[in-house]
Amino acid sequence: MAKAAKKRHPLKIRGLRKRYMLTTMLVILLLVIIAVTAYSLTMRNSVYMNLREGLYTKAKTAADFFANYVTHTYAEYYDSAYMYVADFDDVNRLELQFINLGGQIELSSHYMTAGSVPGTQDIAEALSTGKISGWDGYSDSTGEHLMSVAAPMTYSNGQIIGVMRYVTSLKPADRLVRTNVLAASAFGLVVIALVAVISMVFLESVVTPMREITAAAKQISGGSYGIQIGNRYRDEMGDMVKAINEMSLKISQSEKAQTEFISSVSHELRTPLTAITGWGETLSYNENLDEETKRGIGIILQEARRLTKMVEELLEFTRMQDGRFTLNARPCDVAAELEDSIFTYRELLKQDDMTVEYEPSDEELPLINGDPARLRQVFYNLFDNAAKYARDGKRITVSTGTDGENVFIRLRDYGPGVPEDELERVKLKFYKGNSRERGSGIGLAVCDEIIKYHGGDLTLSNAEGGGLLVTIRIPIEPTFE
């Protein structure tokens, strides 16, 4: 029964998309963040630097003017400062202050600040060093972001009279910087979005064909040799599709040749094996033979039968491979077929000192739609496999039951089990792993195919405590319940 296909989510970030987002997109994001940050800092520094240089130039020019024309008394300096403030025409953009040696504002173009003591670093430095000094920060009284430049006022002999100070609000400059930062950030986001969209479109153009190729490759690895992928690509993807198609075709041809060879050889072997077995059985009834000869004939018969069984398995498998395998399905009591198989095989297993413990279901198993002969073939192969690979365990347990939708049969041996890394490959044709036991390596592959033809599944696992656990599930036919 086919399983419902899982719904795909094209926008799900996984595989190549996830790797790309974690590498390329992360790098692009970091580069954009660095670029926007660098631009913002450069922009801010440039705006503030230009503003500061303008104030420095203005302050130096005014200070030089006063140094040249105010030469004698403080009264002359004060009168000149008063007239300079009165005639100051840049009052809407700047505040002009004249500050005495005590750091107090004596004159200001904004009369409200007269008499206050700003106490900023630029004033102290201008008074102590005699050089123009700048400052930017926040006003203690208003909290406004300000920038100021303080120039020392001197007599002609170099003595400091006071400080001329220009103060401007940085609100317009901050607004300009903020606007540019937001614009740069928006541009960065647009760039990231465009790169992401273009990248996802490109990735989709890669992921979609990769998904198709992967699905086809899984079909090929699952045995659908010869399938071809539609090649509509003219780049490296097209070369890969072409290579996979050629590989699939060559595997199909090789598989067909192998199957035909196996089928031909198997048919050719049946005739001499039948003759060997027949004459061996005839000779075994001859009472005139000595014990050693009889023993030798017994070995010949045993090996001939073993080889005949291998040939039959090979023929059965080739029929499955080329589509000639059929089921004579009808309402079938799988529990009865299993019990008959146990009864038949129990005597054979006694020869290897092995016992079979049967634990039937507490409830009567419902009928299934199956081929009794094929199911017995599966059971015989599983018993034979357990006897061959787990004879040291000395016992086999068999149990049955239902899970509502399926009848299940569990067969467990108590041998060494199968290495975990080989469990998935044990059912592959001709796979024998590290086992030294003789055989064709297709017994489990035949069993698996027969159960699949019944719409069920055969799974292998290592049982707790040791040994291999084989679980068969076959769907219950609703019309037979």
SS (H, E, C) 283-317: HHCCCCCCHHHHHHHHHHHHHHHHHHHHHHHHHHH
* Interaxial angle between packed helices 443-453 and 291-321, expressed in degrees from 0 to 180 and rounded to the nearest 10: 40
CB 426 within 8 A of CB 385: no
Q: Given CA atoms 141, 142, 145, 148 in this order, what sign does their dihedral have?
A: negative
**Beta sheet of 457-462, edge-to-edge order:** 355-359, 395-402, 406-413, 468-475, 457-462
DSSP state of 395: E
Which among 422, 336, 327 is positioned nearest to 379, based on CA atoms?
336
For the chain, the domains span 10-221, 256-321, 330-480
Q: Which helix (H) or strand (E) holds 234?
A: none
Residues of the chain with pLDDT under 70: 1-17, 69-72, 222-223, 255, 258-267, 313, 316-325, 391, 429-441, 478-481
- Give the β-pairing of 395-402 and 406-413: antiparallel
Q: Is the pTM of this model over 0.85?
A: no
β-partners of residue 460 are 470
Question: What is the Cα–Cα distance from 55 to 61, expressed in whole angstroms?
Answer: 10
As its CATH architecture, domain 10-221 has: 2-Layer Sandwich (3.30)
Neighbour tally for 41: CB within 10 Å = 12
Distances (CA, A) of 417 to 246, 351, 397: 39, 22, 14
* Torsion region of 133: left, alpha or beta (phi above 0 gives left; psi -120 to 50 gives alpha): beta
* Interaxial angle between packed helices 236-284 and 171-221, expressed in degrees from 0 to 180 and rounded to the nearest 10: 30
Question: What is the Cα–Cα distance from 215 to 162, expressed in whole angstroms?
Answer: 87
CB 123 within 8 A of CB 139: no
Q: What is the largest CA-CA distance in the chain?
A: 157
Question: What is the Cα–Cα distance from 43 to 181, expressed in whole angstroms?
Answer: 8
β-partners of residue 409 are 400, 472
Phi, psi of 352 (to 5 degrees): -100, 20
CB proximity list for 438: less than 8 A, separation 6 or greater: 306
For the 330-480 domain, the top CATH level (class) is alpha beta
Amino acid at 146: L
- Domain 256-321: assigned CATH number: 1.10.287
Domain pair 10-221 / 330-480, same fold: no
pLDDT tens digit sequence for 125-183: 999 998 999 999 998 878 889 999 999 988 777 788 889 999 999 999 989 999 999 99
Q: Given CA atoms 375, 377, 383, 385 in this order, what sign does their dihedral have?
A: negative
pLDDT tens digit sequence for 300-358: 887 787 777 777 767 766 666 666 667 788 888 989 999 988 888 887 788 778 888 89
3-state secondary structure of 142: coil
CA atoms within 13 A on the CB side of 360: 12
The DSSP-derived string for 12-52 is ---HHHHHHHHTHHHHHHHHHHHHHHHHHHHHHHHHHHHHH
Determine the pLDDT at residue 480: 45
